């Protein structure tokens, strides 16, 4: 299987997990967007991002969860994806929820995560 086919398969699985019926959806205690290992994508408004620790073959929605730490590409996830089963979840100490916090875009959340 080519790398492109592998990525498509992973993305299809991620999207099907996000499209669960409304009746079965419950508000998650832990979500990927509040984890310190979550990196927003280039278009932060769409809610897509990746994990800095988990890699592409991981699946935190499986039972039991699968953790891949060896591949090269990060695990593609969504901002509101349930991270309740993820053993690498670390809640951020400060969460920027106000987009109008300041006018300088260097200090937006997506930029602050790149600082040391």
CA 73, 49, 53, 110 torsion-angle sign: positive
Burial of 58 (0-12, 13-18, 19+ CB in 10 A): buried
Residues of the chain with pLDDT under 70: 14-26, 44, 94-116
Report pTM.
0.61
DSSP structural state of residue 110:
H
Q: How far, in Å, are 25, 85, 92, 93, 99 from residue 54 at the CA level?
A: 24, 13, 17, 20, 28
Q: What is the pLDDT of residues 78-96, one digit of tens each?
A: 888 889 899 999 988 766 6
């Amino acid at each position: 299987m080519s790398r492109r086919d592998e990525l498509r398969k992973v993305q299809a699985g991620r999207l099907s997990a996000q499209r669960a019926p409304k009746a079965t959806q419950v508000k998650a205690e832990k979500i990927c967007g509040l984890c310190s290992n979550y990196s927003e994508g280039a278009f932060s408004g769409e809610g897509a991002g990746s994990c800095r620790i988990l890699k592409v073959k991981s699946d935190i929605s499986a039972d039991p969860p699968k953790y891949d730490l060896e591949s090269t590409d990060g695990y593609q996830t969504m901002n509101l994806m349930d991270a309740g089963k993820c053993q690498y979840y670390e809640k951020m100490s400060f969460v920027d929820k106000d987009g109008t916090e300041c006018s300088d875009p260097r200090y937006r959340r997506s930029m602050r995560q790149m600082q040391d």
